[in-house]
Structure 1
């Protein structure tokens, strides 16, 4: 396994930015790291790249512990942060030469030329970084992350600011890189994950709420339905989860109202009715909803 995360937690005071997170990422796959803003994606990536230390739990990259073997981890990881930290006064080739020197890359000119070609920077290679569009700055950041030919590539919102043509090119590049490297690709856009990733992890408030290969997730979400139920008083979500055919329970903003995500082909409306009777509840509403992929994502990451 190239990345193994076990019970990872990061606290900021009493706030849990990452909450007992566990997952693996393997060579030869692009792992989509999906979640709303503030879900803990960037914090997790900063821990994996040794920019932050965790409060508890462990994380290993290529068999090296991010706390005790941070230099070994850094040698094997290429990182494109969400806010691409370039030197705007430098020229593209100059900046890549500087980055190559920090990695002590042999034959840096050849490697830089190779990365300029790979990332489509040819026409911009002699420009000052401050003169580049956001899309081309993203390409410079990606070239920098790839310079030392890392085994693991961690990309935080790498397609942000790209126009449709640039987006298609960067998608193809990431897919090609994923054939031989472990790629962790962070985004909050479901369409990006469907276009690029082999497997997806959805996190919300620091916790994993879904972990599936992309094709299985698509089958799971395609044509998904939910029941929107409302009772006369509060009900514990764990009790609703015991109803056959209910996969997940998400409280809504309506008083004593819950969205029940359903297993494929299930219709637990009779069971919900009997649940209400058995628990002396008044059933105020029971409505079937058909969910799109985006609606399921919102349901999985609902604030409650």
Structure 2
């Protein structure tokens, strides 16, 4: 299978601190990869570099063959990115914000309206479409960010904690949406919740202290320990090795 996401020896340093250390993996069309690790492991930094929001210290990342540093605009055309916090313009209505995002993507008139309507339907936002974003709950704001990521029907989705702030029913709906989209896209989901990976992912890439320490199926990962904490304890690098 052709890889739609290619990450090769990606590294990010902040002064003497190495947040991401020589990370490499690929994601093919039809794969949903859980990017798993404890808080502070380097997940969000890796995803920001992949999305072109942060320049790597070294290494490369490509989306559908386009380098995120050398060809950032072309790479982002293929990408739907849900960052941590899902920044929006809070004074805009949900419809207004999604229309703004659509126009920035180059959509106008009927195509814009169709894409906004479809994104809201996928994320179940029709009931709040006229509300200002700032009046929404954390879960609804997260769904607005997800709708914005889906507007242009990208080949690649990079989702940082996509179910953060959602209630159990909303989490179930988002997971079902991810599964429905999976056959036609390459998807990376960053999370620190092992249950999330087991629910929707075909692979699990585990990062600890900035390094990839496992790349296997969710079942193989779960077999390493009886709980998420046990898995993380078994995979976290010893201090001497991480130095």
Structure 2 counterpart SS, 1:138: helix
Match of 1:132 among 133, 136, 149: 136
- Residues 190, 294 of structure 1: 8 Å contact kept: no
- Counterpart for residue 42 of structure 2: 40
Give ranges in structure 2 of 5+ residues lacking alignment.
none
Q: Cα RMSD between the aligned structures?
A: 1.4
- 2:4–2:64 contact (8 Å) kept in structure 1: yes
Instruction: With the length of structure 2 as denominator, give the TM-score of the two structures.
Output: 0.93
- Alignment counterpart, residue 214 of structure 1, candidates 215, 218, 232: 218
Q: Deviations over 1:178-221 (max 9, x none)?
A: 22111100001111111111100000111011101223334x43
- What is residue 175 of structure 2 aligned with on the other side? 171
Where does residue 119 of structure 2 map in the other structure?
A: 115
- Asked if the contact 2:193–2:228 (Cα under 8 Å) also holds between the matched residues in 1, the reply is no
Contact 2:63 2:75 in 1 (8 A): yes
Aligned to 1:102: 104
1:85 to 84, 87, 101: 87
Q: Per the alignment, do residues 292 and 56 of structure 1 end up closer, same or farther by CA in structure 2, a change over 3 Å counting?
A: same
**Cα shift at 1:131:** 1.1
| TM-score, scaled relative to structure 1 | 0.75
**Separation of aligned partners in 2, 1:105 and 1:148:** 9
Within 1, Cα distance between the matches of 2:122 and 2:11? 37
Counterpart residue number, 2:165: 161
Match of 1:5 in 2: 7
1:158-195 per-residue CA deviation (whole Å, 9 max, x = no partner) reads 11111111111111111112221111000011111111
Check conservation: 1:34, 1:187, Cα contact below 8 A: yes
SS of residue paired to 2:143: helix
Task: Write out aligned runs for 1:1-304 (5 A).
Answer: 1-106=3-108, 107-218=111-222, 220-221=223-224, 224=225, 291-301=226-236, 304=239
Tell me the number of residue pairs that the alignment of Structure 1 and Structure 2 aligns: 235
- Structure 1 or 2: more helix by fraction: 2
Instruction: Give the secondary-structure state (helix, strand or coil) at the position aligned to 1:179.
Output: helix
> Could you tell me how far 1:119 is from its partner in structure 2?
0.6
**Secondary structure in 2 matching 1:178:** helix
Do the aligned residues in 2 keep the contact of 1:115 with 1:146 (CA within 8 Å)?
yes
SS in 1 for 2:40: coil
Q: Measure the CA separation in 1 of the matches of 2:233 and 2:194.
A: 10
Distance between the aligned counterparts of 1:121 and 1:109, measured in 2?
A: 14
3-state DSSP of counterpart to 1:7: strand
Structure 1, gaps ≥5 residues long:
225-290
In 2, Cα distance between the equivalents of 1:37 and 1:294? 12
- Taking a change above 3 Å as real, the CA distance of residues 111 and 167 of structure 1, as seen in their structure-2 partners, is same
Change (3 A) 1:133 1:292: closer
By how many angstroms is 1:302 displaced? 5.9
Structure 2 CA distance, aligned partners of 1:4 and 1:208?
A: 15
